[in-house]
Structures are given as C-alpha cells and as structure tokens.
Amino acid sequence: MRQHLFILLLFSTTAAVAQPSSEVNFYDHIAPIIHKNCTPCHQPNKSGPFSLITYEDVSKRGRFIGKVTQARYMPPFPADRKFQSYLNERGLTVGEIATIQLWIEGGMREGTKKPEQINKPIASSDEAAPDLVLKMQTPYAITGDNSEDFRFFSLPTHLPNDQYITSIEFSAGNKKLVHHSRLMVDTTNLIRGINGLAETDTKVVDFQKIALKEEFLYGWVPGNDRIHFPQGTGVKLNANADFILNMHYAPSPVASTDQSEIKLYFAKNQIEREVKNFTLRENDISNKPFIIKAGEKPTFYISKKIDKTVFLISVLPHMHLIGKSFRAFVITPTGEVVNLVKIDNWDFNWQMTYQFKNLLKIPAGSTFIVEANYDNSANNPENPFDPPKDINYGWGTTDEMLNLVVYYVED
C-alpha cells in the first residue's frame, strides 16, 4: 500500500517530492489542500455541514475525508470535464489524494503551525465584505408537521441609485431545512410587504400578474454557492428595487425557524456589458407531455432557436429526484457543435452553476439542445414512491422539473 502511494506521488505532475508517511503532517502538507478545496464550503454560514478549518476539525474526520476523496466523491463536481471545461472546476490531483492517504497512514500528525496559519478560513482576493446584505425581516416559523412549505418574502433594497451586481451569494439561515431558494427582482414596489406568503394563498395569483424585472436572478440549491460575473459585466439593479425571495422548506417533524439572507457585491468600475439570463423550461420540451409514467425511463428533449448573437457566461441545469443524466449543447447555423454541460450521474443534492473559462459565442440562428433522462422504475433508489407512480411537473421535491438557466451578455 505504502509503495503504491509512493509511486502515485512520484509520478503525479502536481505533487511535491514524496514523503514517508511518518513525515507528512497537517500544517505542511494537508492544510494547503484542505483550505483550497474544502474550506470554502466547509465553514460557518456556508453549504458544508461541518467546518474543516483547524487541525482538530480535519483530524477528527480524517478517515472519512480519506474515503470520500479517494473515491472522488469529494470535492463534488458532477459535470463531465472532458465534455466542457469550467472556471469554477473542483477536484483533487492524484498526488493530493495520495498525500491525504499517507497522512492518515502516518497517524494524522499535526506538525508545527506556522505564524501565518491561523484558525479561520483562508482569505482570498474575493473575500471582501458584501456591499449590501438583505435579511428576511423576521425569523420565519417552520412548522413541524412533516409537510413541504413554499413561501414568498419581500426584501426591499432602499437603494438611492442604480447599481450593477457583480456577485451574488445566498446564505441559508437554516441549512438543514432550506431546500432551495429563488431570487426575483421587482421594480414596481407593488409586492413590497409580503412576509411569509404561502404559495397556495390566493394573493399569489395577483402578484404573479405583475411584470418582474427579473423572474430568475439567481437560484440557490446545496452546491450552488456564490456566483461571480466576469470582469466588466454585471446585472443592473434599479434604485429602490425589491428582492422577492421564493423559499422552499423541506419537511420536518420538529418546529424550527429560518432567517436567510442575500449578500450582494456591486461593481466598483465601469460596466461594459449587462448580464442577462433566460431559462429553457418544461414549456420548451419538444416531446410533450412532460409526464414520467410509473415504471418508465423516458428521455425528454428541448430544441430552441435564438434570433440574436449572445455570449454565454454560465449554465445551471436543474432536475429533481428521478433525474438520471443531463446533456446540453448548441448547434450553430454552420453546423458547429458547442458543448455546454454533461452530467452522467445526476445528483439532486448537489447542483451547480457552471461558469465557462471564456465567454462562449453563440451566433444568431443557433439552436439550443437539451437531453434529459429520467428513471421512474422500482430499481431507482432515489425514487420517492414505492411502488412507483406517475410523476408530473411541479416545484415539490417529489414532482419533476427540467430547466437550463443561462447567463449571457449580448454582442
């Protein structure tokens, strides 16, 4: 085993000189790996369920970390990097995985802490304080009746001037029960004041008749943390606009509360191009109806042509529990294929916005293609129904969806 690890270390292009397992220690060898790849999520107020900051944090879960990194389950990155490469890719090298294994084998030695190594998340150039934090006005009381709960909240900005958003982050107040959230923007102020309005309330029909500035500015699910827009671009946020927060709370047998917040980062320099978005959704499916019959494993397709040239920043695919695989690409008028995202093993519990390393130019007349596979059989361990039953479109966890959210700028 040790000889095998030595070979991995020696022949990895990214690994340092191989060390005997007895010499591998936390501060010299493990902390740099963990702080770069794990700590950004595994710290207070982030999506990770526990912190991985200090030696004590990491060593008490050392063997668990060894297993999930060796299996490449962590750090998670569901998309196929051979299909397309991304700016926000995660993943450990062979040498880093082997170094973790050597550390565990050598007894998880602590080593000597360097003066610059302090017990807090490692700061980076993008860790500046947000320019505006919008928090739910009061804690929302989550009932303990084991039912899914969909609620709307209004978060006024009271901004005196227009701003351009260069980065958005959603921070769940209750990480166990906040299932997902959707951020919308209203410039009419006609919806201001709703605080915990139920999706089933008749007033929802009235406010949904109001044309929103942004029907989908940002969506948060576990794994889809802070999003950054390219330099020189940003989403315009009008003065005195209101954020409408659509929250989905998971079923719970115990009463609890939530007070989530939105963190906004504004442009400090001139914005050259405004970020916009569109969503390919269930209405765009070519082989309707969107019904997944019990026992079946259907594939649904979206084919949509655009009439203007756009430059793609990122894509966010979305399905629910019985989703199995997802692929999206573009066919240009000249027949060129532009790959967007491919996920062979869909994981409902880890969904991300995939940001391209460079803007992808999509000429006018191009066609977006989406292929999504579902498995509504009894052999699918993720199937929420036993025995299986027909599943239709809906926002509930046991319903299904098919979305591709696209951020872009125009020519």
pLDDT digits (tens, 9 = 90+) for 63-110: 999 999 998 888 888 999 999 999 988 889 999 999 999 999 999 999
pLDDT in tens, 148-182: 899 999 999 999 999 999 999 999 999 889 988 99
Regarding whether 243 and 295 lie in a shared domain, the answer is no
Band (pLDDT 50/70/90 cuts) for residue 281 is very high
DSSP letter for 202, please: T
Residue type, 346: W
Same domain, 75 and 141: no
Describe the strand order of the beta sheet including 403-410 as a list of residue ranges. Answer: 276-280, 403-410, 310-318, 354-362
Which stretch, 54-58, 73-77, 335-339, has highest mean pLDDT?
335-339
- Other C-beta atoms closer than 10 Å to the C-beta of 43 total 19
Structural domain count of the chain: 3
User: Domain boundary residue among 242, 272, 302?
Assistant: 272
Tell me the torsion sign for CA atoms 391, 284, 287, 332.
negative
Residues 136 and 268 in one domain: yes
Are residue 52 and residue 162 in the same domain, yes or no? no
Strand, helix or coil for residue 246: strand
- Consecutive H or E run containing 67: helix 62-70
Question: What pLDDT score was predicted for residue 125?
Answer: 40
Q: Residue 232 belongs to a domain with what CATH number?
A: 2.60.120
Residue 212 belongs to domain spanning:
132-272
Q: Are residues 266 and 295 in the same domain?
A: no
Q: Is residue 13 part of a domain?
A: yes
Tell me: the pLDDT tens digits for 203-221? 888 888 889 999 889 988 8
- 381 in a structural domain: yes
155 and 255 in one domain? yes
Q: Is residue 333 part of a domain?
A: yes
Whether residue 337 is found in the same domain as residue 363: yes
The side-by-side arrangement of strands in the sheet containing 214-220 is 195-198, 149-156, 242-249, 178-186, 214-220
CATH label of the domain that carries residue 396: 2.60.120.230
Predicted confidence (pLDDT) per residue in 100-141, tens digit:
999 999 999 999 887 666 555 454 444 689 999 999 999 999
Instruction: Examine residue 91 and state whether it is found in any structural domain, yes or no.
Output: yes
Higher pLDDT, 189 or 73: 189
Q: Do 158 and 253 have their domain in common? A: yes
| 284 and 249 inside one domain | no
Q: Write down which residue in 88, 105, 122 finishes a domain.
A: 105
Report the chain's terminal Cα–Cα distance, integer Å: 55
309 and 402 belong to one structural domain: yes
The answer to whether residue 68 sits within a structural domain is yes
Final residue belonging to a domain, choices 61, 89, 105: 105
Whole-model pTM: value is: 0.84
Pair (215, 280) in one structural domain: no
Do 47 and 175 lie in a common domain?
no
> Residues 330-352, buried b or exposed e (16+ Cβ, 10 A)?
bbeeeeeebebbbbeebeeeebb
pLDDT of residue 12: 42
Residue 115 lies in a domain: no
